[in-house]
Amino acid sequence: MSHLEQTLIGSYITKQALIKTHHCKGQEVKLDPLKKIIFIAGMGGKEIKDIVQELIPQMSEEDTLVLSPHRGIHELRSFLSGSELGLSDEHLISEDCQFYQILCLKKSHLLPKTHPFGVHIWKGPVGEDYRQHILKSLRDHRDTVSQQFFSYLNNLSR
């Protein structure tokens, strides 16, 4: 945390906004009442889901939640689809042969719900590369969710 704080001090980010870092269990974070952007990344979907469950009651409609899970993405997306958070945007980035989904959410019933498999992330060249990567990895899976995901991705190409 001290390395992160030192990196942020004097960066363009801190010139644009007040940045606070928290060193505690994610489920114990207490949000400031001011408008904020909460960024959670670098952990699994289950862990992020547990944190988000604690954050939702503390969030206002002015807040933005940005999530980037590294695994367990479907579990997180399924939870989000049934929550009071609406999806304001979703992105996919590729770096060093890895794909990262980024979900931007707000506490709003006016925004669309998060789709369990994603919608916009499959568009464009990076989305097509990711789709092919996932299709390859799902071919031999026989569980229901994997088969549903495989079918969903196959239907996108039509």
The pLDDT tens digits of the residues spanning 6-56 come to 666 666 555 556 666 666 666 666 766 777 888 888 899 999 999 999 999
In the chain, where are the structural domains located? 31-117
- The 10s digit of each residue's pLDDT in 63-79 is 999 999 999 999 999 99
| 133 CB-side CA count, 13 A | 12
Task: Provide the CATH topology of domain 31-117.
Answer: Rossmann fold (3.40.50)
Indicate the residue type of 116.
Answer: P
Higher pLDDT, 39 or 114: 114
Residue count of the chain, please give it. Answer: 158
When the pLDDT of each residue in the chain is averaged and rounded to a whole number, the result is 86
State the SS3 of 98-115: EEEEEEEEEECCCCCCCC
CA dist., res. 139 & res. 15, Å (int): 48
Q: What is the pLDDT of residue 105?
A: 96
Higher pLDDT, 31 or 143: 143
